[in-house]
Amino acid sequence: MNYRKLGIFMGKKTIKLVFLLIVVCIASFWIVEQSPIDPVRAYIGEMSIQPEQKAKLEEYWGVNTPAHEKFLNWAENILKGDLGTSLIYRMPVTDVVKERFAASLLLMASSWLLSGVLGFILGIVAGMTNGTLIDKAIKVYCYILLAAPTFWLALIFLLIFAVNLGWFPVGLSVPIGVASEDVTFFDRIHHLILPTITLSLLGVASIAMFTREKLIEVMSSDYVLFAKARGEKGFDLVKRHGIRNVALPAITLQFLGFSELFGGAVLVEQVFSYPGIGQAAVAAGLRSDVPLLLAIVIVSAVFVYSGNLIADIIYEFVDPRIKQQEMKT
Amino acid sequence: MSTTVVTVNRGLFNGFNLRQKTILLISCLSMLLISIVVSSTFIDDSALSTDFGSKNLAPSLEHPFGTDWMGRDMFIRTLGGLGLSIVIGALASSISTVLSVILGLLSSIGKIEDSIVSWLVDLFLSIPHLLLIILISIGLGGGATGVIIAVALTHWTSLTRVVRAEIKQIKTQEYIHISRNFGRSRWWIAKNHILPHLVPQFVLGTIVMFPHAILHEASVTFLGFGLSPHQPAIGIILSESMKYLSAGYWWLAFFPGLSLLIVILAFDLIGENIGKILDPKRAHE
C-alpha cells in the first residue's frame, strides 16, 4: 500500500474533520441559543424561588451575557478538554459521555456485527435464489422491517420475550440490586441480547436488499457467464465470483450506516432503559441540559465521521481494483 | 416476452394490463390513506371520553383494538393518531421538497453555488438524523410546531442529492449549450429547460420522503418531544403503552404500531408503483 498517499489522505480528512467540528459546534450552539426555553426554569423545575435567588442563578448560568461571549467561553473550555457540568447528572459532562458512550458502543458494535453478517447471508441467499419463493419471502421480510418503527419493534420484543416468555430482563444493562463488582459478564450479555437483536433488525433489511441487488448484477455479468461456460456452478460459482465482488461494497455500506445506527440506538435504549448515550441525549433534550446535549452532538458527529472515513479508506485503498488501476498509470 | 404477458394476465384482475393494475393499486392505497385522514377529522370528543366502566378491555368486536386505562377506544385513538401523522408527514415532506427544489436549482447555477449546496448536504448528514431533529425542535422551543419544522428541515438532503445528479446530467445535453449560446441567462435555463425535467423526480421524491417523515415524527414524539400528551399521536400512544406492558395489556402497543406499519408500507408501495409509471424505461413493461 502506498503509505505516502495514505498519509496525505488522512491529513486531508483530519483537517476536514476539524473544520466540520467547528461548524457543528457553532451551528448547534446557535440553534440551542435560539431556544426560548429558560435554562434556570429547566434547572429548578416547578419549584418557586425568590427573585433574588433567580437573579443569582441567572448570573451563575450566564443567562444575560451576550451569545458570542458565551460561545467563546464554551469553545475555550472545550479546547481545554472541559465540556462543562451536566445539569441533570450533576457531574462533568466528559465523565457522563465517556461512561454512557462505552455502554452504547458495546450495544452498537454487537448489533452492527450481527446485522452485517445476518443481512449479508440473507442477501446472498435471496440473490442466489432470485425469483423463487425464498427470494420473495426474504424481500417481503425486508420491506416490512424497513417500514416498521424501531421503537415499536422494541416494544413488541419486550412484550414477547421479556414479559410473556420471561427469557430476558425487562431493562437496564445490569441486574437491579447487585453491587457493581458482583455483576458477572454473563449478566451483561443477558441484558444486552434483546436490545442488540432489536437494533440489528433495521440494519439487516438495508444490507440484505443491497447485497441481493448487487449479487444479481454480478451474476448477470459476462465473467460469470464465462465461468458458467467453464463448468462452474452452484455455490462454488457464487462463492468464487459473487461473494468476493459483493463483500466490499456491502462492508462499505455497513460503515456508512453509523448515523442510522446511532439514531436506532437512541430509540432502543429508551425502550429497554439501557443506560447508553442515546438515553442520555433524550434526557438532556427533555430537561434542557444544554452542555450535555451539545457534547453528545459533537461526539455523534465524530462517530458518524469515523464511519464515513473507514468507508472512504476501503474505497480508496483496500479495493484491489483501484490498486490495480494505480499500478497501470 | 410472451411469457411475461401470460403471467401478467393471470390472477384476480385478468382483464387489465400491468399499467392499469398498477394504477388500480395506487388508487386503492391512496383511498385507504385518504379515508384514514378524512375519518380522523370526523372523530368527535365524545368518542374519546373517559369511561372507567370499560377500561383495559382486550380487543373485542365492540372495541377492535381494545381500550386503554381510561376506557378510551384504542381504534379511534389510533385512527386519530394516524390522521395526525399523515397530515404532519404531508406538511413536512412538501416543505422539504420545496427546499430541495430551491437548493437543487441553486446548485445548477454555478460552481460556487454547487459546492455550497453539497457542503450543506454533508453538514446535515454529519449528525445522526434523530439527534438533529431533537436539536432543532429544542431550538424552536419544542411543541408540535417545533417538531414539524424540525422534521421538515432535515429531510431534503437525499432528494437534493438526486436532483443535483440529475441536473448535472441534463446540463451536458446539447440544447442547454445552444440555449446558452443564444444568450439566455443561467437562471432562465434553470427555470425553463431544467425544471420541467425534474417534475417527476419531485413528485416521486415527495412520496418517498413521506414514510421517513412520518417515522421520524412518531419516533420523536415517542421519545417525549413535541406533541402534548393529550394529542392522539401514535408516538404518544406507544410511549404511554410502555407503562402497561408488564401488566400484559399487549393490545395497547400492538395495534397502533401495526397500523403505523401498514400506513408506511402503503406509502412505500405507492412510491414504488408511481416510480414505475413515471419512469419511461419501465412504464411499458
| Chain A interface disruption, residue of B4, B123, B134, B154, most A CBs within 10 A | B134
Q: Of the ranges A127-136, B25-34, B132-141, B235-244, which one carries the lowest mean pLDDT score?
A: B235-244
A123 vs B56: which has the higher pLDDT: A123
- Specify whether the CB–CB gap between A112 and A261 falls below 8 A: yes
- Whether A215 and chain B come into contact, CB under 8 Å, resolves to no
The domain segmentation of chain A, as residue ranges, is 3-79, 93-328
C-alpha cell at A157: 420484543
Average pLDDT over residues B123-145: 85
Strand partners, A85: A92
The phi and psi torsions of B73 (rounded to 5 degrees) equal -75, 120
CA dihedral B165, B169, B175, B180 (to 10 degrees): 60
pLDDT at A113: 92
CA distance A262 to chain B (A): 6
- Specify whether the CB–CB gap between A157 and B253 falls below 8 A: no
Of the candidates A171, A150, A119, the one whose C-alpha atom is nearest the C-alpha of residue A260 is A150
The phi and psi torsions of B67 (rounded to 5 degrees) equal -130, 160
**CATH classification code of A93-328:** 1.10.3720.10
CA distance A146 to chain B (A): 9
CA dist A136 and A134 (Å) reads 5
Query: Contact A31/B135, CB-based, under 8 Å?
Result: yes
The pLDDT-based confidence of B26 (bands split at 50, 70, 90) is: confident
Concatenating the DSSP letter of every residue in B145-193 gives HHHHHHHHHHS-HHHHHHHHHHHHHHHTSHHHHHHHHTT--HHHHIIII
The pLDDT-based confidence of B162 (bands split at 50, 70, 90) is: confident
Query: Contact A297/B261, CB-based, under 8 Å?
Result: no
Of the candidates B187, B121, B178, the one whose C-alpha atom is nearest the C-alpha of residue B154 is B121
The pLDDT-based confidence of B7 (bands split at 50, 70, 90) is: very low
- Whether A171 and chain B come into contact, CB under 8 Å, resolves to no
Q: What are the chain A neighbours of B265 within 8 Å (beta carbons)?
A: 143-144, 147
pLDDT at A323: 57
pLDDT at A74: 77
pLDDT at A63: 64
Query: Contact A150/B130, CB-based, under 8 Å?
Result: no
- Specify whether the CB–CB gap between A272 and A195 falls below 8 A: yes
What ipTM score was computed for the predicted complex, to two decimals? Answer: 0.82
**How many residue pairs bridge chain A and chain B with CB atoms within 8 Å of each other?**
135
The beta-carbon neighbor of B139 closest among A31, A158, A270 is: A31
Query: Contact A149/B127, CB-based, under 8 Å?
Result: no
The pLDDT-based confidence of B1 (bands split at 50, 70, 90) is: very low
> In chain A, positions 93-152, which contact chain B (CB-CB < 8 Å)?
143-144, 146-152
Return all residues near B211 (Cβ < 8 A) that are at least 6 apart.
A147, B89, B264, B267, B268, B271
The pLDDT-based confidence of B4 (bands split at 50, 70, 90) is: very low
C-alpha cell at A298: 459533537
With 80 as the cut, is the pLDDT of residue B15 above it? no
- Specify whether the CB–CB gap between A39 and A288 falls below 8 A: yes
With 60 as the cut, is the pLDDT of residue B2 above it? no
Residues B176-218 have pLDDT tens digits of 888 888 888 888 887 888 888 888 888 888 888 888 888 888 8
pLDDT at B27: 86
CA dist A41 and A57 (Å) reads 10
- The residue behind cell 386503492 is B28
Query: Contact A149/B215, CB-based, under 8 Å?
Result: yes
| Spacing of C-alpha A309 from chain mean position | 14
- Specify whether the CB–CB gap between A203 and A111 falls below 8 A: yes
CA distance B145 to chain A (A): 13
- CA torsion sign for A163, A167, A172, A178 is positive
With 80 as the cut, is the pLDDT of residue B84 above it? yes
| Chain A interface disruption, residue of B116, B120, B131, most A CBs within 10 A | B131
> In chain A, positions 13-52, which contact chain B (CB-CB < 8 Å)?
20, 23-24, 27-28, 31-37
Nearest residue of B to residue A169 by CA position?
A: B246
pLDDT at A158: 81
- Specify whether the CB–CB gap between B118 and B164 falls below 8 A: yes
Return all residues near A220 (Cβ < 8 A) that are at least 6 apart.
none
Query: Contact A263/B264, CB-based, under 8 Å?
Result: no
With 50 as the cut, is the pLDDT of residue B221 above it? yes
pTM above 0.90, yes or no: no
pLDDT at B3: 40
The pLDDT-based confidence of B63 (bands split at 50, 70, 90) is: low
The beta-carbon neighbor of A147 closest among B223, B242, B261 is: B261
With 80 as the cut, is the pLDDT of residue B256 above it? yes
CA dist A188 and A185 (Å) reads 5
pLDDT at A271: 84
B242 vs A178: which has the higher pLDDT: B242
In the DSSP assignment, the letter for residue B73 is B
Q: Which ranges of chain A have pLDDT less than 50?
A: 329
pLDDT at A239: 81
pLDDT at B5: 42
B173 vs A328: which has the higher pLDDT: B173
Count Cβ atoms within 10 A of the Cβ of residue A300 and give its class: 0-12 exposed, 13-18 middle, 19 or more buried: buried
Q: How far is CA B228 from CA B36, B142, B233, in A?
A: 22, 10, 9
Q: What are the chain B neighbours of A35 within 8 Å (beta carbons)?
A: 138-141
